[in-house]
Amino acid sequence: MSQVYTRTGDKGTTSLLGGSRIGKNDLRVSCYGTIDEANAAIGTAYSFFENPKIKEILHKIQKKLFVVGAQLASDEKGKKFLKEKVTAADVSELEELIDYYLEKIGKQTAFVIPGKSQASAMLHLARTIIRRGEREITTLSETEQVEAELLQYINRLSDLLFTLARYEEEYSLIEKVKNETIRRINNYNQEDDQSYKLTLDIAKKIAQAAETKANEIGVPIIISVVDEGGNLLLLHRMEDALLASIDISINKAYTSAFLKTATHEISKLTQPGEPLYGLQWTNNNRMVIFGGGYPLKVGDRVIGAIGVSGGTVEEDMTIASHALRTFEMERR
């Protein structure tokens, strides 16, 4: 269509497909005008839906309503040129959809008051417009030929829209309950995260996990656990561990708590030319910049840290990582 306006209808008449002209107040014009109105209402409902399957169904209905409108807007000559018409298969498809969704929501036991959601309310509006269209088409069929399948399709369509509106009301209620449950769980977890404290009992479990892993790989170690302020909470020393590892493990834990990151990550930033070069000589030389220290986090909050020393850097990191996983499991 190259133009929106043609001026041919300025005298109150319009052209049917086939060439004949009728008044714009003719019942036939009201029929396909009402179908167009229903299509717009379904489109509005479509924009509110989130369920992809329902959106697919509505979009297909919209395209089929163009076929309905074309049939109603055709005279006998024009009907011969139509490439598509409403068929019995189209009616059966609507019936199958009605049966499918009725099985999900059950039979209606009370009057339905529209308005539980925007999407369902718009479908109820579209349904009533289709009902009006059905009344007008039925009246038209008393004086002019209207295909039986078209009338059947319109009748089933109002039933399907009603069923889909009910389904959306059920679906939106379930989604609302689910989202509220998720919100409450998240709020609970956030509150729980804020109140969670590192205790001596948890520190002992972390240390025991570290010792178990150290025994597996045959390395005697020392593990230190500090609180969020870097204060020593627990020092766990295995037999034959190097004495030098006492200060190193404590300072690894202190460094991780102080900088809220793992010590092996700090190493990359304190090399010559890097932004934190020289950090290792601050805080009375307590900063340790090689692996084995890890912060203990609850959410984004650091509640303490651990430091492992006694083996190679790789061995210390392996043992500390195992102890860290024990802490995370304790949190659950």
Residue 226 and residue 137 in one domain: no
What letter would DSSP give residue 279? G
Residue 73 and residue 220 in one domain: no
Q: How confident is the model at residue 13 (pLDDT cuts 50, 70, 90)?
A: confident
Residue 223 and residue 171 in one domain: no
Residue 63 and residue 181 in one domain: yes
Q: Convert the pLDDT of each residue in 178-202 to its tens digit.
A: 666 666 666 655 545 556 788 999 9
Tell me if 150 is assigned to some domain: yes
CA distance 246 to 179: 50
N- to C-terminal Cα distance for the chain? 64
| E-strand stretches of 185-231 | 222-227
Mean pLDDT within 117-142 = 95
Backbone CA torsion sign across 161, 163, 165, 171: negative
Tell me if 215 is assigned to some domain: yes
Q: Convert the pLDDT of each residue in 135-179 to its tens digit.
A: 999 999 999 999 999 999 999 999 999 999 999 888 766 666 666
Residue 27 and residue 44 in one domain: yes
Q: Report the alpha-carbon angle 136-142-148, nearest 5.
A: 80
Residue 2 has pLDDT above 60, yes or no: no
Residue 218 has pLDDT above 90, yes or no: yes
Residue 214 and residue 164 in one domain: no
Residues 6+ apart with CB under 8 A from 67: 84, 85, 86
Where among 142, 165, 191 does a domain terminate? 191
Over the chain, what is the mean pLDDT? 87
Question: What is the pLDDT, as a whole number, of residue 63?
Answer: 97
Residue 300 has pLDDT above 70, yes or no: yes
Residue 143 and residue 20 in one domain: yes
Max mean pLDDT among 130-134, 190-194, 289-293 falls in 130-134
Where among 162, 191, 220 does a domain terminate? 191
The SS3 assignment for 16 reads coil
Residue 327 has pLDDT above 90, yes or no: no
Mean pLDDT within 49-53 = 90
Question: What is the pLDDT, as a whole number, of residue 178?
Answer: 64
Question: What is the pLDDT, as a whole number, of residue 287?
Answer: 86
Element (H, E) at 309: strand 301-309
Tell me if 6 is assigned to some domain: no
Mean pLDDT within 278-288 = 78
Residue 55 and residue 166 in one domain: yes
Q: What is the CATH number of the domain that holds 274?
A: 3.30.450.150
What range does the domain containing 242 cover? Answer: 200-331
Mean pLDDT within 22-48 = 94
Q: How confident is the model at residue 11 (pLDDT cuts 50, 70, 90)?
A: low
Give percent of the chain with pLDDT exceeding 70: 88
Where among 172, 191, 210 does a domain terminate? 191
Mean pLDDT within 28-35 = 95
Question: What is the pLDDT, as a whole number, of residue 105?
Answer: 82
Length of the chain: 332
Residues 6+ apart with CB under 8 A from 234: 200, 203, 204, 207, 223, 224, 225
Domains in the chain, number: 2
Tell me if 5 is assigned to some domain: no
Instruction: Supply 71's token pair.
Output: 């049939």
Tell me if 8 is assigned to some domain: no
Residue 82 and residue 207 in one domain: no
The phi, psi pair for 316, rounded to 5°, reads -60, -40
Question: What is the pLDDT, as a whole number, of residue 281?
Answer: 78
Residue identified by tokens 């490439």 is 83
Element (H, E) at 255: helix 244-259
Residue 28 has pLDDT above 80, yes or no: yes
Q: Convert the pLDDT of each residue in 224-257 to its tens digit.
A: 999 988 999 999 999 999 999 999 999 999 999 9
Residue 106 and residue 186 in one domain: yes
Residue 122 and residue 174 in one domain: yes
Cα 151 vs. chain centroid, distance in angstroms?
40
Element (H, E) at 234: strand 232-237
Question: What is the pLDDT, as a whole number, of residue 191?
Answer: 47
Q: What is the CATH number of the domain that holds 158?
A: 1.20.1200.10
Q: How many CB atoms are located within 10 Å of the residue 97 CB?
A: 18
Question: What is the pLDDT, as a whole number, of residue 109?
Answer: 65
Residue 18 and residue 68 in one domain: yes
Question: What is the pLDDT, as a whole number, of residue 189?
Answer: 52
Q: How many CB atoms are located within 10 Å of the residue 2 CB?
A: 4
CA neighbor of 193 nearest in space, from 315, 296, 58:
296
Tell me if 25 is assigned to some domain: yes
What is the model's pTM?
0.53
